[in-house]
Structure 1
């Protein structure tokens, strides 16, 4: 085994540690170091923390203080089996005294060191909140409907879906996933979205759940840092018919149950399941929405027939009992008037 000489103490050694023998190296060894005062930038609106000039989402104020101390703590690169204990103590709402204990193994020696630091929390608006307050947006989603104006319930459902998608994207780190503003117009609603990526995810999710389609187009807004800056407009089209619409299609009266990539429903007269595609449904006409159907008195039930009062003439008429019908005589039930006469509408199931 080759020996060398420690340049500090002159003793022979088999290995040098940073130019010294083991004893000399450990003589002035410092396991961990931290600055006496640290600063943590905290967004007062959303609670995000600035780490190395990048805003990241964090938890409570105490957790932010702990993360700040962890990020600033230096532990010797040769240490192994490191264990760190951090205990913050609030001096004021935005100033913390932090006690740190570090245990580690180095060169078969166990080391323990205690440190103190102070974390001062500075409040500053993050990039996302600054952009939201400034009305920043990269994309516009135009919520419209085919051959009609979308209803308030539909528009609100689209907004609810959008908020769910945005929350998911924010949790994944997309800090431009926000709606800075919205605009109600006669034809529908416009959503101003922080990023085109978030807007695209919203449109896909709405189409997946409600049906319809969307297109996108870009317009040049200018240049920034030598690059062209574009704004994307997403034209979202909800389908012509929505769930629980009563339509006439090729001589059949159909209640739509689901409208997405395929259209499913039920034949009001026979109770048979109905399936087609949105393209094949062209030419169908809307008779009524279920919620807008008139109701009339159910007089009696005889086998497969129902005796109803005509809601216009108040005469008793006999109609076929629909499948999955459970109403009792004396109650009011929804009906629809067609060229084939009065039809009773089955319960939702």
Structure 2
């Protein structure tokens, strides 16, 4: 077997470790090291952690303390199969004592070392919270509806969608995904948003889920570091009609069921399914909202006909039975008067 001589002790050894035999190498060997005092910078408002001058959304305070210790821990480069155990203990809201145990395989032996450090919590204001408190925004989202005032439930849905989009983008590291402030007005709402890119994602998500359209326009606000600074206004228009609006479109009476990328509905007279785009509904007119429909007595059902009382004259008239009609004689049913005459409106769940 080939061997060499240790330059420190002069003994023969089959292998040198950093220029020494195994015994000489282990005399001053340290498996792991950590500084006696560490500092963890945390945002006092949102709890983000500062790592190398970059703010990152993180978990709770204990998670940050553990990660701070692990990041600062040095384990010898030739160690293998390393296992680290970190046990933090809170002394005060600003001070943690952390006990660390390290196990590793080295030179065919298992080494164990225990260390202790102190982590001091430094609370500052992160870039995002500083911008919010300073009123920073790059974009204005104007939420309106076409030819009407948005309903309260629509506005709540739009705000919820905006918050969902921002939460997803913050989880991916976008520190400008925030609303600086909002302004409720009669025609809708204005949201002042930290990033134009975030605002664009919000608009696309709302249009995809609720329907409508949006456009954007930019205005020059000034210059910084030799670059033009622009602010973008996003004009979001919700659809002219809402789910369960009953409209007249190209001679058909349609109850709108859902808006999104496409508009779906039901022909009140025939029960046929309607699918189209918002552009295809251009020129349609609102006849009534389902909640405002008149109710009248269903006298009898004869095959595909219904005998009902005219809600205005109280005369018995015969009208066509809608598809999926489930009401029974002697009950009240919703009806609507159109140019085609009186029409029964089927259950909205059908």
TM-score of the two chains, using structure 1 as the length reference: 0.91
Tell me whether 176-185 or 220-229 shows the greater mean CA deviation: 220-229
Q: Does the C-alpha gap of structure 1 residues 314 and 120 become closer, same or farther in structure 2, counting only changes over 3 Å?
A: farther
Q: Who is 2:93 aligned against?
A: 93
* Residue 220 (structure 1) aligns with: 220
How far 1:253 moved relative to its partner? 0.6
Partner of 2:151: 151
Structure 2 distance, partners of 1:128, 1:100, is 33
Which residue of structure 1 lines up, in the alignment, with residue 233 of structure 2? Answer: 233
CA shift, 1:301, in A, is 3.2
Per-residue deviation at 1:15? Answer: 5.0
**For the aligned residues, what is the CA RMSD?**
2.2
> Which has the larger displacement, 19-28 or 96-105?
19-28
Partner of 2:26: 26
Whole-angstrom distance in 2 between the partners of 1:45 and 1:309: 64
Change (3 A) 1:222 1:14: farther
Cα offset, 1:276, TM superposition: 2.6
1:268 aligns with 2:268: yes
Q: Which runs of 5+ in 1 are unaligned?
A: none
Could you tell me how far apart the structure 2 residues matched to 1:9 and 1:210 are? 80
Query: How far off its partner does 1:29 sit?
Result: 0.9
- Report the number of matched residues: 349
Residue of structure 1 in register with 2:244 after alignment: 244
Displacement after TM superposition at 1:5 (Å): 5.3
Distance 2:97 2:111 in 1: 23
What is the distance in 2 between the residues matched to 1:313 and 1:32? Answer: 94
1:135 matched to 2:139? The reply is: no
Q: SS at 1:154's partner residue? A: helix
Matched position secondary structure for 1:147? coil
Q: Rate the CA distance shift 1:98–1:146 in 2: closer, same or farther, 3 A.
A: same
Whole-Å Cα distance in 1 between the matches of residues 157 and 56 of structure 2? 30
Distance in 2 of aligned mates of 1:105 and 1:238: 64
Structure 1 position 18, deviation (Å): 3.5
Where 2:55 maps in the other structure, the secondary structure is strand
2:308 aligned residue: 308
Q: Does 79-88 or 129-138 show the bigger shift?
A: 129-138
* Counterpart for residue 258 of structure 1: 258
Residue pair 2:203, 2:236 contacting (<8 A) in 1 also = yes
Larger mean CA deviation between 32-41 and 140-149 belongs to: 140-149
| Residues 11 and 224 of structure 1, relative CA distance in 2, 3 Å threshold | farther
Alignment of 1:323-338 (within 5 A): 323-338=323-338
Please list every run of at least 4 consecutive aligned residues from structure 1 whose deviation after the TM superposition is greater than 4 angstroms. Answer: 1-7, 10-16
Seen in structure 2, the aligned counterparts of structure 1 residues 108 and 224 have a Cα distance that, compared at 3 Å, is farther
- Residue 109 of structure 1 corresponds to 109
Q: Tell me what 2:197 maps to.
A: 197
**Deviation of residue 308 (structure 1)?**
3.2
1:316/1:47 Cα in 2 relative to 1: closer, same or farther (>3 Å)?
farther
Query: C-alpha displacement at 1:117, in angstroms?
Result: 0.8
TM-score (norm 2): 0.91
Cα distance in 1 between the residues matched to 2:159 and 2:50: 30
Q: Distance in 2 between matches of 1:313 and 1:181?
A: 54
| Structure 2 contact 40–49 (Cα < 8 Å) conserved | yes
Unmatched 5+ residue regions in structure 2? none
